[in-house]
A and B are shown apart, each in its own frame.
Chain A
Amino acid sequence: MTRLSYTKALNRAIADELADDPAVCVFGEDIGAGMAGPTLGLLDRFGPERIVDTPLSEQAFTAMAIGAALTGRRPVLEFQIPSLLFLVFEQLVNQAHKFSLMTGGQASVPLTCLVPGSGSRDGWAGQHSDHPYSLFAHAGVKTVVPATPTDAYGLLRSAIRDPDPVVVFAPAAALPVRETVTWDLAPIPLGRARIHRPGTDVTVVAVGHLVHDALAVADEVAEDISVEVLDPRTLYPLDWAALAASLERTGRLVVFDDSNRSCGFAAEVLATASEEMRLIAPPRRVTRPDGAVLPFAPALDRALQPGREQLRHALHAVLKHP
Chain B
Amino acid sequence: MTAPPATLPPGSAAPGSAPLDTPAERYRMLRLIRGFEELALGLVKAGAIPGGIHPYIGQEAVAVGVCSALGPADRLTSTHRGHGHVLARGAAPHRLLAELAGRVDGLNGGRGGSMHAADLSLGILGANGIVGAGAPIAVGAAWTARQAGDGRVAVAFFGDGALNQGVLLESFNLAAMWRLPVVFVCENNGYATTLPAATAVAGSATGRAAAFGIPAEEVDGMDTEAVRAAALRAVERARSGGGPGFLECRTYRYEGHHTMERRMKLHYRTPEEVEAWRARDPLPRAAAQLEQPAVAELDDAVARQLAAAEEFALASEHPDPAGALDHLYADGLRPRAGAVA
> Is A126 part of the binding interface, using a Cβ–Cβ cutoff of 8 Å?
no
With most chain A CB atoms within 10 A of its CB, the pick from B126, B140, B329 is B140
Q: Are B173 and A163 in contact (CB under 8 A)?
A: no
Q: In the complex, what distance in Å separates the CA atom of A67 from the CA atom of B328?
A: 18
For residue B136, which residues in chain A have a CB less than 8 angstroms away from its CB?
59-64, 66-67, 91
Q: Are B174 and A103 in contact (CB under 8 A)?
A: no
> Is B118 part of the binding interface, using a Cβ–Cβ cutoff of 8 Å?
yes
For residue B330, which residues in chain A have a CB less than 8 angstroms away from its CB?
100, 105, 108-110, 163-164
The residues in A between 66 and 90 inclusive whose CB is less than 8 angstroms from any CB of B are 66-73, 90
List the A residue with the shortest CB-CB distance to B2.
A104
Q: In the complex, what distance in Å separates the CA atom of A55 from the CA atom of B119?
A: 31
For residue A60, which residues in chain B have a CB less than 8 angstroms away from its CB?
136, 139, 167, 170-171, 173-174
Q: A99-B126, A140-B335 are in contact. Are A105 and B109 (CB under 8 A)?
A: yes
Q: Are A95 and B130 in contact (CB under 8 A)?
A: yes
* Count of chain B residues near A, Cβ 8 A: 52
Q: Are A71 and B2 in contact (CB under 8 A)?
A: no
Interchain nearest-CB distance for A248 vs B (Å)? 18
Q: In the complex, what distance in Å separates the CA atom of A69 from the CA atom of B1?
A: 19
For residue B170, which residues in chain A have a CB less than 8 angstroms away from its CB?
55, 57, 59-61
Q: Are A276 and B1 in contact (CB under 8 A)?
A: no
Q: Are B137 and A102 in contact (CB under 8 A)?
A: no
Q: Are A71 and B1 in contact (CB under 8 A)?
A: no
For residue A59, which residues in chain B have a CB less than 8 angstroms away from its CB?
136, 166-167, 170
Q: Are B108 and A106 in contact (CB under 8 A)?
A: yes
Q: Are A107 and B137 in contact (CB under 8 A)?
A: no
Q: In the complex, what distance in Å separates the CA atom of A100 from the CA atom of B135?
A: 19
> Is B17 part of the binding interface, using a Cβ–Cβ cutoff of 8 Å?
no
The residues in A between 24 and 38 inclusive whose CB is less than 8 angstroms from any CB of B are 25
> Is A65 part of the binding interface, using a Cβ–Cβ cutoff of 8 Å?
yes
List the A residue with the shortest CB-CB distance to B152.
A71
Interchain nearest-CB distance for B17 vs A (Å)? 19
For residue B135, which residues in chain A have a CB less than 8 angstroms away from its CB?
63
> Is B309 part of the binding interface, using a Cβ–Cβ cutoff of 8 Å?
no
Q: In the complex, what distance in Å separates the CA atom of A106 from the CA atom of B123?
A: 11
> Is B138 part of the binding interface, using a Cβ–Cβ cutoff of 8 Å?
yes
For residue A71, which residues in chain B have a CB less than 8 angstroms away from its CB?
75, 125, 140-141, 144-145
> Is A200 part of the binding interface, using a Cβ–Cβ cutoff of 8 Å?
no
> Is B340 part of the binding interface, using a Cβ–Cβ cutoff of 8 Å?
yes
Q: Are B137 and A67 in contact (CB under 8 A)?
A: yes
Interface CB pairs A-B, < 8 A, 11: A55-B174, A59-B136, A68-B141, A71-B144, A94-B130, A100-B329, A101-B111, A103-B120, A105-B111, A105-B326, A163-B331
B interface vs A, CB < 8 Å? 1-2, 75, 77, 106-112, 116, 118-121, 125-126, 128, 130, 133, 135-145, 147, 154, 166-167, 170-171, 173-174, 177, 325-331, 333, 335-336, 340
The 8 A-B residue pairs with the shortest CB-CB distance, nearest first, are A67-B140, A104-B109, A108-B330, A60-B170, A63-B136, A163-B330, A64-B140, A105-B327
